[in-house]
Structure 1
Amino acid sequence: MVEPFLGNWKLVSSENFENYMKELGVNSATRNTVGSAKVKIIISKDGDTVTIQTESIKSTVISFQLGIEFDETTADNRKVKGVITLDSGSMIHVQKWLGKETTIKRNIVDRKMVTVSFPNFVCASFFSVHMANTAS
């Protein structure tokens, strides 16, 4: 059920994000710029299609159907194969490229979206809901 994730989310805080970006190969100038950026995520749904729009220094938009692999270009310009699923109330986003893989796990906790990224460095980001979106 994707509905708890729908809405406009504003970044409140982030932990270990710079190390996560470093592990992904993001250069230091970009890491410094992105680390201080205000991030907004808009998650919406139209029928079976979910859209995640990330607004920051570089904005990205992905539209997908749960469980179906799609092509994605990340904010740091990696060309990846992505697949997003729901598991026990978590939205699990797996990205694969050049023999590498990263996972972004989103959960709703106390009306906040908590995003954890891994494998090698665990990074956590906390978003407050700006405006819930119940459209589906």
Structure 2
Amino acid sequence: MVDAFVGTWLLKESDKFDEYMKELGKCSVYFYFFLLLFFLMRAHCAGEYTVTLKTQSTMKNTELSFKLGVEFDETTADDRKVKSIVKIEDGKLVHIQRWDEKETSLVRQVNGNVLLLTLKLGDVVCERRYEKAE
């Protein structure tokens, strides 16, 4: 199931990312530039249950390793300290982050050489479309 996510993905389109960042309480100007600049995501799996996601941009690089279905502490790219859990549900990689009585979901799904990332916080829904680079 996780194999579909393995590879290098290049951001091609983003819709409502600025609204999502505002809902997080982040400075929209800073993240507006983050949105426009180079953004690459790499996914790697070790065995059936361990996943590593690396993101690279001109602003910040991050690396996140986790075991599917096991809660872990995460420091997000925007420096939030959250409790996270990632599961496979209906072929989608569902990532839930919780902090300060808030919750956001990051749902990744693959269709051919396209990865769609849907971010949801409250009533705000952002979609980011990636294409497979390798």
State the TM-score, normalized to the length of structure 1: 0.92
Task: Give unpaired runs (5+ residues) of structure 1.
Answer: 132-136
Q: How does 1:1-136 map to 2 (within 5 A)?
A: 1-47=1-47, 48-56=49-57, 57-119=59-121, 120-131=123-134
TM superposition outliers: structure 1 runs of 4+ over 2 Å: none
State the distance in 1 between where 2:114 and 2:132 align. Answer: 6
For residues 57-112 of structure 1, the C-alpha deviation after alignment (integer angstroms, 9 at most, x for no partner) is: 11111100100011111111001111100011111000001111000010112320
State the distance in 2 between where 1:88 and 1:29 align. Answer: 36
Aligned-pair Cα RMSD in Å = 1.0
State the distance in 2 between where 1:110 and 1:122 align. Answer: 23
CA shift at 1:36, angstroms? 1.1
The answer (yes or no) to whether the contact 1:13–1:127 under 8 Å persists in 2 is yes
State the TM-score, normalized to the length of structure 2: 0.93
What SS class does the counterpart of residue 133 from structure 2 fall into?
Answer: strand
State the distance in 1 between where 2:92 and 2:114 align. Answer: 13
State the distance in 2 between where 1:126 and 1:19 align. Answer: 16
State the distance in 2 between where 1:28 and 1:86 align. Answer: 31
The answer (yes or no) to whether the contact 1:68–1:84 under 8 Å persists in 2 is yes
For residues 108-129 of structure 1, the C-alpha deviation after alignment (integer angstroms, 9 at most, x for no partner) is: 1232000001032110000000
Alignment: residue pair count: 131
State the distance in 2 between where 1:127 and 1:91 align. Answer: 15
CA shift at 1:34, angstroms? 1.1
